[in-house]
Chains A and B, each alone.
Chain A
Amino acid sequence: MEKLRATSNLRRSLKSLLNRRLSSGSDFTHFNQKRSFQTSFNWIRDYKSVGEVNAVQYRYFSSVSTLVQRNPSFSTLNSDDISYFKGLLGEKNVIQDEDRLETVNTDWMHKYKGSSKLLLQPRSTEEVSQILRYCNSRCLAVVPQAGNTGLVGGSVPVFDEVIVNVGSMNNIISFDKVSGILVCEAGCILENLISFLDNQGFVMPLDLGAKGSCQIGGNVSTNAGGLRLVRYGSLHGNVLGLEAVLANGDVLDMLGTLRKDNTGYDLKHLFIGSEGSLGIVTKVSILTPPKLSSVNLAFLACKDYSSCQKLLVEAKRKLGEILSAIEFLDDQAMVLVLHHLDGVRNPLPTSMHNFYVLIETIGSDDSFDREKLEAFLLSSMEGGLISDGVLAQDINQLSSFWRIREGVPEALMKAGAVYKYDLSLPVEKMYNLVDDMRVRLGNLAKVVGYGHLGDGNLHLNISAPQYDDAILEQIEPYVYEWTSKHRGSISAEHGLGLMKANKIYYSKTPETVQIMASIKTLLDPNGILNPYKVLPHSINP
């Protein structure tokens, strides 16, 4: 079992949870009150100083916890299983080759590594159904995997779970040119869908930096947000239907293509964002907006965060219906991108600014949009909100400006170790957290802030030459508590995965989480789908 820094995180959270349960006998209803935060914080501190007692305490509770332990109720693979899968899928789609397993066992950030011995590549829903039926009967744990671009360790095994990768299921089933409704299999790569739709005169309602590798099944399962959420809304609104396979192999056909269908409880919403823990999404039906011809992008510089905020308000008001994306990055992010990525050019080379904002408009009339945008930019400049800026004059310039914002995660990876946090916060408070973290960390690490200004979503990243527990201590649980205090979300769009499996209480009440656990038990009684993730280990079956 190799689980790098995730282990220490989990141990810490386990300690705090179990301590509270044992000592006060209270339930978690008190958790959200400020006082409780302080007390649990103290417990963590106490335990840290006790050292040896830690280990003893931890081992004492090991029967209660299933945290960092492999769930003993899961079976181990044997040769009969392999033969069965080979018979079902064919030799080529049952992979036990070390090198290939190495890649699928490791997440994109190289932070989480499982030790799965088997990768399965089904080509149809029927094959997925057979796989799950078999695994359920044998009690073999399964990790559904698509593009493996997730950032919270949700797409790779923790121990030796069987990896079911939907990448071979990449057909586009149908596309209605009038309504713009696209039906496709879960393994379609987002960028391929975007190109396909481009030829038809439509666009995907979501766009993210990982588009070259991420697959739509994964996007739907994590309720991916992306760059255009401010214009097209979330996947909950755009996904009209989906087909999912449950843990016992049952195929749930909810693949509607209707814009409106109020017949009963809308179950597809459970699967959107469930991160593969309730079922494997095999087909998706999604509403795609028409492709509009006029796209404009402005790359602007602001001197402080409050200007960025005011700019956001002005943009929503003055640009109105043509606003399609509004993103920000701070000077630290810019420096990293210019330093680590090839072929990236600073659009505003004359001086380094504190904040950079990208504003994109999409509309149907180029001259009208340009006029509107230029008027807005002029008034913002005169109002002192923008200190400088450039406007893309052709598609190449447009892509190079986007490359800067989309390239920040890649640049962070190249810079060394990165602690990544994805938080939803009230827009006015968003950057205060970055400033606070800078004070807390001092010279230990570089704090970088960027994100979806329009959605109130901050991507807080702490970059250090190496992973170091001393740094982690300063970050967690401070970041989560800070977010919780402002009633924010500790995971705006990345999901909980393995990284935040025990952190859900910072943003959801215990009653809510209890219902989630019941639903999980209902749909996956043996808990074989993506175990150890999403829900806290204390209530995960």
Chain B
Amino acid sequence: MKIMVAVKRVVDYAVKIRVKPDKSGVETQNVKMSMNPFCEIALEEALRIKEAGLAKEVVAVSMGLANCVDTLRTSLAMGADRGIHVEAARELIPLTVAKILKKLVGVENPGLLILGKQAIDDDCNQTGQMIAGLLGWPQGTFASKVVLDKEKQVVTVDREVDGGLETLCLDLPAVITTDLRLNQPRYATLPNIMKAKSKPIKKYTPEELNVEIKSDLEVVQVTEPPKRKAGVILSSVDELIDKLRNEAHVI
């Protein structure tokens, strides 16, 4: 069985982001980019399933500009077998990503499609659900535990929901999106980084896959949230009472 994992190149989680002066988006020039943390977890889960002998191959997919290849190289360095890069000249919205994935699934025929639950740049949390809808596959989102049963061709997924944990049993092929507590991704070891250099990355364009890149959404403005006002350190209880009475008007 093949597992396909979709990975996204985003602004590094630890970077202090800044909004561009023209408010058209977040500053991404000269800013450290890395793999979306949830995608890392998705890839780690796929690798663990393969190492347990339940899958034959892990294929990593990324879509976007040429620099997506960096993220694919990281995936290969972690242990994925092959990479697929779909070149696109601009930001893709989740629906387009889902449509492209559907075409790729048609080419590769994986038994399991694992994605991160959301990307940390747009926080959409839509791609996994959309692709499951387009393919007509069962979906287990916000997975915090995944157990594959190859014999019965089902996968049992524990989902993190508002009320607690929900356990679903899905027939394969299925779509899983990963949540934070699923696993701790491995580091890219040197031997694997070296091996990754010779692993193949196949390039596609959306035209080849017959998917139209059009966006129904337009970003009008991006602004920072209002700055928190600094607290004031008071020197006595009298001052506190005075402020509560005269400034905050609460007593």
In the bound complex, what is the Cα–Cα distance between A92 and B233 (angstroms)? Answer: 13
B16 x A391 contact (CB < 8 A)? no
Set A381, A386, A391, A399: member contacting B188, Cβ < 8 A: A391
Contacts of B77 on A, CB cut-off 8 Å?
391, 393
A392 to B188, CA, bound (A): 7
Q: Contact between B35 and A394 (Cβ–Cβ < 8 Å)? A: yes
A180 at the interface (CB under 8 A from B): no
A389-B31 CB under 8 A given contacts A198-B16, A394-B12: no
Q: Any chain B CB within 8 A of the CB of A521?
A: no
Do A395 and B190 touch across chains, with their CB atoms under 8 A apart? no
- A92 near B30 with CB under 8 A, answer no
Minimum CB–CB distance for A350 against chain B, Å: 9
**Would you give the shortest CB distance from A487 to chain B, in whole angstroms?**
37
Cross-chain contact B13 with A396 (CB below 8 angstroms): yes
Q: B193 to A396, Cβ gap below 8 A?
A: no
Interface residues as binary, B22-54 with A (CB distance below 8 Å gives 1, 0 otherwise): 000000001110110100000000000000000
Pick from B12, B184, B189: contact of A395, CB under 8 Å: B12
Instruction: Contact check, B190 vs A393: say whether CB atoms are below 8 A apart.
Output: no
Contact between chains at B16 and A393 (CB < 8 Å): no
Whether the pair A399, B14 counts as a contact (CB closer than 8 A) is yes
Q: A395–B191 contact, CB under 8 A?
A: no
7 contacts between A and B (CB under 8 A): A293-B30, A293-B31, A293-B32, A347-B187, A381-B194, A391-B77, A396-B13
Nearest-neighbor residue (CB-CB) of A301 within chain B: B190
Cα A301 to Cα B190 in complex, Å, equals: 11
With A92-B235, A293-B30 as known contacts, state yes or no: A393 contacts B188, CB within 8 Å: yes
Which residues in chain A, 357-402, are within 8 Å of chain B measured between CB atoms? Answer: 367, 374, 377-378, 381, 386, 388-397, 399
Asked if B74 lies at the interface with its beta carbon under 8 angstroms from chain A, I say yes
CB neighbours (8 Å) of A300 from chain B are: 190
How many B residues have CB within 8 A of the partner chain?
23
**B residues 179-229 with Cβ under 8 Å of A?**
184, 187-191, 193-194
B57 to chain A, nearest CB (A): 22
* A393 to B34 alpha-carbon distance, docked (Å): 7
Q: Which residue of B lies closest to A92 (CB)?
A: B235
Give the residues in chain B near A347, CB-CB below 8 Å.
Answer: 187
For the complex, what is the distance from the CA of A402 to the CA of B32, rounded to whole Å?
A: 18
Q: Which residues of B contact A381 (CB under 8 A)?
A: 190-191, 194
Taking the closest CB of chain A, its distance from the CB of B119, in whole angstroms, is 14
Cβ contact of B193, chosen from A199, A345, A391, A397, cutoff 8 A: A391
Smallest CB separation, A297 vs chain B (Å): 11
The A-contacting residues of B in range 55-79, CB under 8 angstroms, are 70, 74, 77
5 more contacts with CB within 8 A, not counting A394-B34, A397-B187, are: A300-B190, A388-B191, A395-B13, A396-B13, A396-B14
The docked-state distance in angstroms from the alpha carbon of A396 to that of B191 is 21
- B190 smallest CB distance to A (angstroms): 4
CA distance A474 to B195 in the complex (A): 49
Q: Is B15 an interface residue (CB 8 A)?
A: yes
Assuming A293-B31, A374-B193, A381-B194, is B13 touching A394 (CB within 8 A)?
A: yes
Q: Which residues of B contact A386 (CB under 8 A)?
A: 190
Task: Give Cα distance in the complex from A426 to B38, angstroms.
Answer: 46
Cβ-defined partner of A377 (8 Å) among B16, B32, B190: B190
User: Which residues 85-100 in B have Cβ within 8 Å of A in the complex?
Assistant: none
Residues of B within 8 A of A399 (CB): 14
Closest residue on chain B to residue A380 by CB atoms: B190
A399 to B12, CA, bound (A): 13
A residues in contact with B194, CB < 8 Å = 374, 378, 381
| Contact among A293, A348, A374, A393 with B74 in the assembled complex (CB-CB below 8 Å) | A393
B14 A393 Cβ-Cβ under 8 A: no
B35: A residues at CB distance < 8 A: 393-394
Nearest-neighbour CB distance to chain B for A296, whole angstroms, equals 10
Give 7 nearest A-B pairs by CB, closest first.
A394-B34, A395-B14, A390-B187, A389-B190, A293-B30, A395-B12, A390-B189
Indicate whether A345 sits within 8 Å of B32 (C-beta atoms), given known contacts A377-B190, A388-B189, A389-B189: no
Specify which of A92, A294, A345, A396 lies most central, judged by the most chain B CB atoms within 10 Å of its CB: A396
Instruction: For the complex formed, measure the closest distance between the CB of A197 and the CB atoms of chain B, giving whole angstroms.
Output: 12
Q: Is the CB of B31 within 8 A of A393?
A: no
Interface residues of A in 322-362 (CB under 8 A from B): 345, 347-348
A347 and B185 CA atoms in complex are apart in Å by 11
Most chain A Cβ neighbours within 10 Å, of B13, B188, B190, B191: B190
CB under 8 Å from chain B, chain A span 254-295: 293-295
CB of A388 within 8 A of CB of B190, answer: yes
Residue of A nearest to B187 (CB): A390
- Cα–Cα distance between A452 and B30 once the two chains are bound (Å): 30
Chain A CB within 10 Å — which of B13, B32, B235 has the most?
Answer: B32
**Bound Cα distance from A364 to B190, whole angstroms:** 23
Assembled-state Cα–Cα distance A381/B195 (Å): 13
* Residues of A96-131 whose CB lies within 8 A of B: none
A509: shortest Cβ distance to chain B, in Å? Answer: 47
A300 to B30, CA, bound (A): 27
Closest chain B residue, CB of each to CB of A370: B70
Name the residue on A nearest B16 (C-beta).
Answer: A198
Task: Note all chain A residues with C-beta closer than 8 A to B14.
Answer: 394-396, 399
Alpha-carbon separation in the docked complex, A396 to B34 (Å)? 10
> Which residues of the other chain, A, contact B37 by a CB distance below 8 angstroms?
394, 396
A358 to nearest B CB, angstroms? Answer: 13
How many angstroms from the CA of A377 to the CA of B77 in the assembled complex? 14
Q: Which chain B positions have C-beta within 8 A of A378?
A: 190, 194
A367 cross-chain contacts in B, Cβ below 8 A: 70
- A199–B17 Cα gap in the complex (Å)? 10
Chain B residues positioned under 8 Å from A298 (CB to CB): 190
Q: How far is the CB of B121 from chain A (nearest CB, A)?
A: 14
With A293-B32, A393-B34 as known contacts, state yes or no: A345 contacts B15, CB within 8 Å.
no
